Amino acid sequence: MKVLVIGGGGREHALVWKLAQSPRITKLYCAPGNGGIALDAECVPADVKNLDSLVALATKLQPDLTVVGPELPLTLGVVDEFQSHGWPIFGPTRAAAQLESSKSFAKEFMQRHRIPTAHYAICKTVDEVRATLPHFHTPIVVKADGLAAGKGVVVAKTKEEAASVAVEMLSGKMVGAAGTLVVLEECLTGDELSFLVFSDGERVVPLVAAQDHKRVGDGDSGPNTGGMGAYSTATIVDDKMRDWLVHHIAEPVIAGMKAEGAEYKGVLYCGLMMTARGPMVLEFNCRFGDPETQPILMRLESDLVEALEASVGGRVSEGDFRWSPDASACVVIASAGYPGTFEAGKKIAGLESVGAMERVKVFHAATSRRDDVYFTSGGRVLGVTARAPDLATAVERAYAAVSMIGFEGMHYRKDIAARALKK
C-alpha cells in the first residue's frame, strides 16, 4: 500500500521511520519531509497550510492511507476534504479538531462533560478581563483562544501582568486573530504528562505515556518551546492511573464529541497536570506530540499501519499495539537563539558515527541535505532518541550520541528525565 505522511518535523520522521518497517507498505511519501526523512521516504513538495496543495498532491499520488503530523491542516479540514474524495486519512475532522484549535471550545466542552480541568473564564474584551481578574489568585495563566504556534500561553505573576498580556492578545498585536478571545486560567502545579490515545470515534486505546520538557533551559528555566526532549517508561503511569485517565478523561471526551455530533477519530493528545487534586487537563491536541512521538514510537513493537487503519476503519482495540517494556528518551538539539530568532544553514557533524550506535535513532526535525552533508534548517534540528531496558541507560545512551554531534551554536537540555531518575 501507498502511505503519505504530511509534515516535515521530528514527529513526522519518527512516523516515517516506524511506517517504513511495515511489510505492508510498498511506497512511503512525506510532504514536505526534510533532509533526514528523505532516507526513509520519498519527500514531495507541499504547502501544509494550503488544502488545495494537499488535494493536488493526493490526486497525483492516490495514497491508500494519509497520516497528518501538524495541527494546522487538521484544523483547516484536511480530513473532511480527503474523505470527500474517498482517500482514507487518519485524524479528526475540522469540527473535532476544535478541541485544539479553540481553547474556549475545549474549556466549555470539559465543563459540559465534567472533565477535570483548571478553573477558567473566557473574556471577549479588556473590560471583561478587568472585571474577572479579581476572582483569580496569582499566578494567572493567560491563553489566546486560537492556534498560536506555542506563543499563546503566558503564566503571569501578577494581575497587572495578566491584564497587560490579555490586552496585547485582544488587540491582535501578540498572536493576531488567535487572540480575539482570551482564556484566563487558574495556575496548576505538579508534573506534566502527555497521555495520547487512539480512537475510532467510539473506543479508546491508550499509547504508552510520555513526559515532555517544554522550557528551553535546564531546571525548567526560560521561555516555553515546542518541546526540548521527552521520555517514556513503563513506570511513568501505573495501570491503575492509566485506567483512571481512560475512564475519566479520554472516554468522556470521545463520547462527548460523538454526542455533540463531532465524532473524534485519530490520536487525541491529552496534556495533563498531575496535581495534588488529581490529574487535570491543561490542553488537548488533535495530533501526535512532538517530541513525545519519538520516544513513544521507539517503544512500539507492533505494526503502526494496523493501528492507524483500525482508527480509520472504526475498530481500534488494545491488540493493535504491542509495547516494549524498555524505556526511551529523546534529547532535542536546537539552533542558537531558539525559541527566538535563529540562523539556519549550519553544517552538522557526527551523524555517521551516531548512525552506527545500536538502539539510537536521530530523528531529523529541521535539516536539509546536499551531497550527503546535512545542514540545519530550523529551530529544533534533531531529536536524538535512545532505547534501553531502564531509563537511566536510555538517557545515558541518548546523551552519548548527542556528544558526538556538533554544529555551530547548538544547544540542548542536559536534564531530560532527570527528575524521574531522582525519584
The residues that touch ligand GLY, with contacts defined as CB under 6 A, are 212, 226-227, 285, 289-290, 292
* Residue 34 Cβ vs ligand GLY, minimum distance, rounded to whole Å: 17
Whose Cβ is closer to ligand AMP: residue 5's or residue 420's?
Answer: 420
80 binds, among ligand GLY, ligand AMP, none (CB under 5 to 8 A by kind): none
Whose Cβ is closer to ligand AMP: residue 214's or residue 411's?
Answer: 214
What residues does 204 pair with on adjacent strands?
A: 199
Between 103-112 and 251-259, two packed helices, what is the crossing angle to 10 degrees?
A: 100
* Residue 141 Cβ vs ligand AMP, minimum distance, rounded to whole Å: 4
Considering only residues 15, 123, 165, 188, which one is a binding residue for ligand AMP as defined by CB under 6 A? 188
214 is a site residue for ligand AMP (CB under 6 A): yes
393 binds, among ligand GLY, ligand AMP, none (CB under 5 to 8 A by kind): none
Distance separating alpha carbons of residues 346 and 408, to the nearest angstrom: 6
**Spatial CB neighbours of 352, under 8 Å, sequence gap ≥ 6:** none
Chain centroid to CA 267: 10
**Spatial CB neighbours of 364, under 8 Å, sequence gap ≥ 6:** 10, 13, 34, 35, 36, 37, 374, 381, 382, 383
* Residue 409 Cβ vs ligand AMP, minimum distance, rounded to whole Å: 26
Considering only residues 46, 48, 76, 118, which one is a binding residue for ligand AMP as defined by CB under 6 A? 118
- Cell numbers standing for residue 420: 524521574
Burial class (CB in 10 A: 0-12, 13-18, 19+), 310: buried
119 to 193, 224, 307, 342, 393: CA distances (angstroms): 19, 22, 35, 36, 40
* Residue 332 Cβ vs ligand AMP, minimum distance, rounded to whole Å: 15
Tell me the per-residue interface mask from 243 to 272 with ligand AMP, x by CB under 6 A, - otherwise. ----------------------------x-
Strand 327-334 relative to strand 2-7: parallel, antiparallel, unpaired?
unpaired
289 binds, among ligand GLY, ligand AMP, none (CB under 5 to 8 A by kind): ligand GLY
**Contact region for ligand AMP (CB under 6 A) — 74-82, 181-189, 245-253, 298-306?**
181-189
Contact by Cβ (8 Å): 144, 115: no
Tell me the per-residue interface mask from 125 to 144 with ligand AMP, x by CB under 6 A, - otherwise. ----------------x-x-
Smallest CA-to-CA distance from 116 within 334, 277, 290, 236 is with: 277
292 binds, among ligand GLY, ligand AMP, none (CB under 5 to 8 A by kind): ligand GLY
Contact by Cβ (8 Å): 76, 98: no
Whose Cβ is closer to ligand AMP: residue 122's or residue 282's?
Answer: 282
281 is a site residue for ligand AMP (CB under 6 A): no
Whose Cβ is closer to ligand GLY: residue 206's or residue 226's?
Answer: 226
Query: What is the per-residue DSSP string for 351-373?
Result: HHHHHTSTTEEEEESSEEEETTE
Whose Cβ is closer to ligand GLY: residue 35's or residue 226's?
Answer: 226
Contact by Cβ (8 Å): 30, 10: no
* Residue 52 Cβ vs ligand GLY, minimum distance, rounded to whole Å: 26
